[in-house]
Structure 1
Amino acid sequence: MSRTEVNDSLTRNTHVGHKVSLRDFVKANLGLVFLLVVLVLAVIVALLLKSIANVKKTKALNIELKERQEELVAAKKQAEVASEAKTSFLFNMSHDIRTPMNAIIGFSNLLQQNLDNKERAQDYIHKIQQANDFLLSLVNNVLEMARIESGKMTVDSVYADMHALMEATCSVFEAQMQAKKITFAYTLKIEHPDILVDKTKVREIFLNILSNACKYTPEGGCVTLEVRELPGDSAGIAVYQTTVTDTGIGMPEDFLPQLFEAFTRERNTTTSGIMGTGLGMQIVKKLVELLGGTITVASKLGKGTTFVVSLPLQLAEKEQGDAANSKDELDIEAYKGMRILLAEDNELNAEIVITLLSEQGFLLEHAADGTECVAKLEQAEPGYYDFILMDVQMPHMDGYEAARTIRRLDDPVKASVPIIAMTANAFEEDKRRAFEAGMNAHVPKPFNAEKLYAAIHEVLGK
């Protein structure tokens, strides 16, 4: 080899040791370093984003937790209020039920001790009846409030003559006003007496207001009722503004905002000596609102009270009234001698009905439950019973099932016998359920004799 070839070979194959610097490495691996830096930055950004997301999630959880805590606090307060209201309701109900019950028990005992004294016995019977009426009004008011609060109450508008409606309402209190020497006057300044209205609810509104006016006005006082007709917001509508004013004991002005609350009285039965449920004015307000009207009250202690009720009512034609009044009048004499099958499991209730209707000339047979009622009807000749008075809640077979069973009988005469429900299930849905079971009429308990006769008249159609 030549010298030049030897030197080249030595140069190529001789290792000279030296340290590689970071700069040398970067220069030699620029692409790899760039990728490494990008990867590190990506990891850092991902960690930051995850941290930020965790922070936001934590904040959201804290907010949600706080909202739930607030909801729980609100629910707790609402439950406490409801519990207090329930306790107050039961306390007031207990007190107001015991008041007439105490009178009924006390006067019943006195009646037993004075049966030979006709004058005293009649007085005790009268007072027992007053306590009975109050107890029934309390139960009816509670049921009325339950129906209103549940939203099951509807408006049933029919033809009415405003003059006749208010006259009939006011006449209820004329004897009471005279007995207390209260001057009672009512006037109507209206142009259109023919209206479409829910008469029952309007009567209930003003019966409550006038009842309070009579109760809380002392002897020698004055009670007035005035109805004015005002223009309505649309054609065919008029606003009837009724103002009831008394010169009674009145109420303090700071009590007025509580007047329409349940079981609220400025003075209770014990302090005032006047029986009342404390539900009447709340029912009045609910009924007024249900009819689309307004009610306001002004009063001063010792100066009297004024209620103003404004009801928007639809105007009617006189011909509608003539058609409504053309119905046959009730004549119970036409039904004497008819045979009734009474299905009633309560012996006392059965005795009352049998005694009352027997005195009117009806012939009655008693079945203790629905099963016995159906059996008696099946065993009798077709047409033997003119109609059935059917209780609903009975053992073995209730009234609904008994009515359905009767309607499925093979004999068409027996299957079509008129059935009148006479039951303590007094709600509108109970009435509807009775009709769905095949009954022809519905009379609530405690039954009113006139309503029962009217139902008989309606069913038998004579």
Structure 2
Amino acid sequence: EYAIHFQMQMGKHKYRHLIGSPLYLKQVLQNIGGNAVKYNRAGGAVTFASEDVAYSDGRAVIKFTCTDTGRGMSREFLVHAFEPFSQENTDARTTFTGTGLGLAITKQMVELMEGTISLKSEQNVGTTISVTIPFRIDVDYTEPQEDAKPADAASLEGVHVLLVEDNELNMEIAEFLLKKAGITVTTAYNGQEAVDVFRTKAAGTFDVILMDVMMPVMDGLTAAREIHATNRVDAAEIPIFAMTANAFYDDVRQSKEAGMVEHLSKPIQEQELLDAIRRHVKR
């Protein structure tokens, strides 16, 4: 929409299989990358890079760097950038609809992973954020045999999914991935619509429900509870997956408490999605 050029510069990492927190790492990189786009300028650029910086005591230390050509920050504000609710411009909340918590939360997650985060910025020039995190090297990993077949690669042809998503682009992408696998898709654009669709269809119509969490009219957690509470034979057992950009422990806990059996982080990964459906669909 803003013609921002996004470039990846992935280093040649010595170790490809590491042990750490996928949820925290994904959230950290999404927060940083999201800000780089959000506070950029039309026709600007974002460059994301990763490189190994050290190996010691069974650990690989990796540095992730995100550079943008956005509005940047003043020297005076840099010392406050990681403080909660910090936003330099008085119009930031109205223009960019943020809370000022992004960098503060990102710093907390980086520190929980025993890493460090730093930034350099210049007003009207851009910002560079660097995150360095140590990961344990997975010494037990062995390369699979070439003739090994994917586990449980059962066909999903004929599976019927109720896809609930309020964002049109996310809906289009998820629907494409599902249909490519032979899955029949019925769509709903908010939680209330999902509840209505489920209740009006015959019992057993849907094998799985993919539910966005943050939606207008009715959120995904409430919709999941409403569906499970429906007085129908398939209501209590229908597998409902949460789809959300929020990967914090508390978000996972809330989705489980609402009766959701999977927590899929956005952007949705095709193989992760299809494998999750296979786990819960009895053919």
Q: Does the alignment reach a TM-score above 0.5?
A: yes
Quickly say closer, same or farther: Cα 1:354–1:186, change in 2 above 3 A: farther
Q: Is the 8 A contact 1:418 1:440 kept in 2?
A: no
Cα shift at 1:419:
4.2
Match in the other structure for 1:190: 13
1:260 to 57, 82, 85: 82
Match in the other structure for 2:105: 283
Match in the other structure for 2:175: none
Cα shift at 1:350:
1.7
Q: Is the 8 A contact 1:222 1:246 kept in 2?
A: yes
1:303 to 119, 122, 125: 125
Distance 2:110 2:90 in 1: 25
Q: What's the % identity of the aligned pairs?
A: 25
Deviations 1:329-360 (A, max 9, x none): 5854242599xxxxxxx7533235579xxxxx
Which consecutive unaligned segments of at least 5 residues does structure 2 have? 162-182, 184-190, 210-220, 244-249
User: Secondary structure at the residue paired with 1:250?
Assistant: coil
Match in the other structure for 1:348: 193
Cα shift at 1:317:
5.1
User: Secondary structure at the residue paired with 1:245?
Assistant: strand
Match in the other structure for 1:365: 202
Distance 1:302 1:268 in 2: 16
Quickly say closer, same or farther: Cα 1:191–1:455, change in 2 above 3 A: closer
Matches within 5 A, 1:28-427: 179-180=3-4, 182=5, 184-232=7-55, 234-267=56-89, 273-316=95-138, 319=141, 322=144, 326-328=150-152, 331-336=155-160, 348-352=193-197, 364-365=201-202, 393-394=225-226, 418-421=237-240, 427=251
Q: Is the 8 A contact 1:240 1:310 kept in 2?
A: yes
Deviations 1:374-416 (A, max 9, x none): xxxxxxxxxx788687966459x958xx9xxx9xxxxxxx9xx
Quickly say closer, same or farther: Cα 1:393–1:353, change in 2 above 3 A: closer
Q: Is the 8 A contact 1:269 1:276 kept in 2?
A: no
Greater RCO, 1 or 2 (C-alpha within 8 Å, sep 6+): 2
Distance 1:214 1:243 in 2: 14
Q: Is the 8 A contact 1:294 1:311 kept in 2?
A: yes
Kindly indicate which of the two structures has a greater share of residues assigned to helix: 1
One-letter identity of the residue aligned with 2:279 = E
User: Secondary structure at the residue paired with 1:263?
Assistant: coil
Deviations 1:145-173 (A, max 9, x none): xxxxxxxxxxxxxxxxxxxxxxxxxxxxx
User: Secondary structure at the residue paired with 1:273?
Assistant: helix
Cα shift at 1:295:
0.4
User: Secondary structure at the residue paired with 2:87?
Assistant: coil
Q: Is the 8 A contact 1:230 1:240 kept in 2?
A: yes
Q: Is the 8 A contact 2:120 2:129 kept in 1?
A: yes
Distance 2:13 2:263 in 1: 36
Q: Is the 8 A contact 1:194 1:321 kept in 2?
A: no
One-letter identity of the residue aligned with 1:458 = R
Distance 2:126 2:89 in 1: 15
User: Secondary structure at the residue paired with 1:302?
Assistant: coil
Matched, 1:441 2:265: no
Quickly say closer, same or farther: Cα 1:197–1:278, change in 2 above 3 A: same
* TM-score, structure 2 normalization: 0.61
Quickly say closer, same or farther: Cα 1:185–1:336, change in 2 above 3 A: closer
User: Secondary structure at the residue paired with 1:427?
Assistant: helix
User: Secondary structure at the residue paired with 1:243?
Assistant: strand
Match in the other structure for 2:213: none
Quickly say closer, same or farther: Cα 1:459–1:251, change in 2 above 3 A: same
User: Secondary structure at the residue paired with 1:326?
Assistant: coil
RMSD: 4.7
One-letter identity of the residue aligned with 2:202 = E
Distance 1:194 1:453 in 2: 22
Cα shift at 1:307:
1.0
Quickly say closer, same or farther: Cα 1:204–1:269, change in 2 above 3 A: farther
Kindly indicate which of the two structures has a greater share of residues assigned to strand: 2
Asked which structure has the greater CA Rg, the reply is 1
Match in the other structure for 1:428: 252
Which consecutive unaligned segments of at least 5 residues does structure 1 have? 1-175, 339-345, 356-363, 367-383, 407-413
Cα shift at 1:328:
4.2
User: Secondary structure at the residue paired with 1:231?
Assistant: strand
* TM-score, structure 1 normalization: 0.40
The aligned length equals 233
